[in-house]
A and B are shown apart, each in its own frame.
Chain A
């Protein structure tokens, strides 16, 4: 009798504990997905809070019942929070537990972390080489996105000190690599935003305007980038209507009025977040 009770108790305990672990993993996945949704709608702060919650839950899931899934979610949350070294360790654990991509993701996380460290130390050349490598080869989106953003920023900063021909060559090369990224993932708003920035530097304001519109429609990873994208869009629009022939100008004004209405702007050049 006593034995039977003990067995029943053990069974109940096992069910309760595994349910608790499942709940932690389930919650971690849910918070992570919500963070992704918020990031897409440019609510960075909310996204960061959700990734942090996802990380807390995933940590608990890994502690109670280590699994490839739990370590993968933990690594993803860490990567989105910029904790590259921790992400590397999590993906290696996930790999050891059967997640096939874990090794490559760990390697890309390590490289992203290394590049960020180099950049923080003012060593731009090695960080640029690593970012370029990640842009060309990485299939791990968080590492790819930070590499694309930082590489674009560093190349733009370096190009500002070059002679006009060299500068245009450097920026054209940058655009080629951004085009490859856009071909690989056309729905990533960040790549269109970066392309809009480079086109703005090259003076191709029409293309810059179109890319900024596309970036806005597809969503950007943070509110600051979203607002900057709006400012870029307005800058291009204002310059374009000042330079176009009347018929083209009227057409562009009509298009911009339609976008502005769709986005809830106060007029064709005032985003909703701007004070009156």
Chain B
């Protein structure tokens, strides 16, 4: 049991998703990765866990945060501090507040599905792209998963993939290695960014 076995299990997962979600390969990575996250944590209510990200898109939930909280959020994360240095220096809370709802959901609350959905942007530290893309991409993900989500076979397949990968030693691998493995299985080089919807 080792990396190769896990890779083989995930490859089967890609094949299964190819059947269940044809032409939506941009969703394979977030789905497979979040399935792996929950499998490692030995949580098997996949359907609820993977769909939970939709609950976190509520704009009312984050729109009332105090200025100090918003400012500390940007200052407290090294990559965000670098990206938004100019806005932080000139105290441009209007700009920071505009970016906050998307970045707080992805970076601040760390939902596995949303982080995978925006993996190319996170890897490239392109946080402004997350802000621009957030509404459109999450809406597309919701629409695309919708029909499959109603099919119990879809969730059973995801659970099977996660369980199998977990039983083969998924927990022994680094998070980044698992991500790279899934990306390579889906599209080849990770720079291609499998999480980007074709029409985005």
| Chain B nearest Cβ from A199, distance in angstroms | 10
Task: Count chain A CB atoms within 10 A of each CB in B52, B64, B109 and give the residue with the most.
Answer: B64
> Is A157's CB within 8 Å of the partner chain B?
yes
Query: Given A157-B64, A228-B61, A235-B69, are A48 and B48 also a contact pair (CB < 8 Å)?
Result: yes
Contacts of A48 in B (CB 8 A): 48
Q: Which of B56, B64, B69, B72 contacts A153 (CB 8 A)?
A: B64
Interface code A171-203, partner B: CB below 8 Å = 1, 0 otherwise? 000000000000000000000000001001101
Instruction: Pick the residue among B49, B63, B68, B76 that contacts A45 (CB under 8 A).
Output: B49
Check B48 against A49 for contact (C-beta < 8 Å).
yes
Interface residues of A in 44-68 (CB under 8 A from B): 44-46, 48-49
Q: Is the interface of A mostly helix, strand, loop or mixed?
A: helix
Known A228-B109, A235-B72, A238-B72: A157·B63 in contact at CB below 8 Å: yes
Q: Is B110 in contact with A275, judged by CB distance below 8 angstroms? A: yes
- Determine whether the beta carbon of B64 is less than 8 Å from that of A156: yes
On whether the beta carbons of A222 and B110 are closer than 8 Å, the reply is: no
CA distance A158 to B47 in the complex (A): 36
In the complex, which residues of chain B have a beta carbon less than 8 angstroms from the beta carbon of A224? 55-56, 61, 109
Number of A-B contacts (CB under 8 A): 55
What's the minimum C-beta distance from A246 to chain B, rounded to whole angstroms?
A: 22
User: Does B11 reach chain A (CB closer than 8 Å)?
Assistant: no
* Residue from A160, A197, A231, A239 in contact with B108 in the complex, judged by beta carbons closer than 8 Å: A231
Binary per-residue interface labels of chain B (48-88) against chain A in the complex, 1 for a CB within 8 Å, 0 otherwise: 11011001100011011010110011001000000000000
- Give every chain A residue within 8 A of B69 (Cβ-Cβ): 200, 231-232, 235
- The listed residue (B66, B68, B109, B175) touching A227 by CB distance below 8 A is B109
**List of A residues within 8 angstroms of B175 by Cβ:** 275
Taking the closest CB of chain A, its distance from the CB of B195, in whole angstroms, is 17
Q: Is A274 an interface residue (CB 8 A)?
A: yes
A residues near B123, Cβ cutoff 8 Å: none
Which residues of the other chain, A, contact B109 by a CB distance below 8 angstroms?
A: 224, 227-228, 231
Least distance between A46 CB and chain B CB atoms (Å): 5
Cβ contacts under 8 Å, A203 to chain B: 68
Are A45 and B48 CB-contacts (below 8 A) given A156-B64, A160-B64?
Answer: yes
Q: Please name the 4 residue pairs, one residue from A and one from B, whose CB atoms are nearest each other, closest first.
A: A45-B48, A156-B64, A45-B52, A201-B66
16 contacts between A and B (CB under 8 A): A44-B52, A45-B49, A45-B52, A153-B64, A156-B64, A157-B60, A200-B68, A200-B69, A203-B68, A224-B56, A227-B108, A227-B109, A231-B108, A235-B68, A235-B72, A238-B76
Residues of B within 8 A of A (CB): 45, 47-49, 51-52, 55-56, 60-61, 63-64, 66, 68-69, 72-73, 76, 108-110, 175
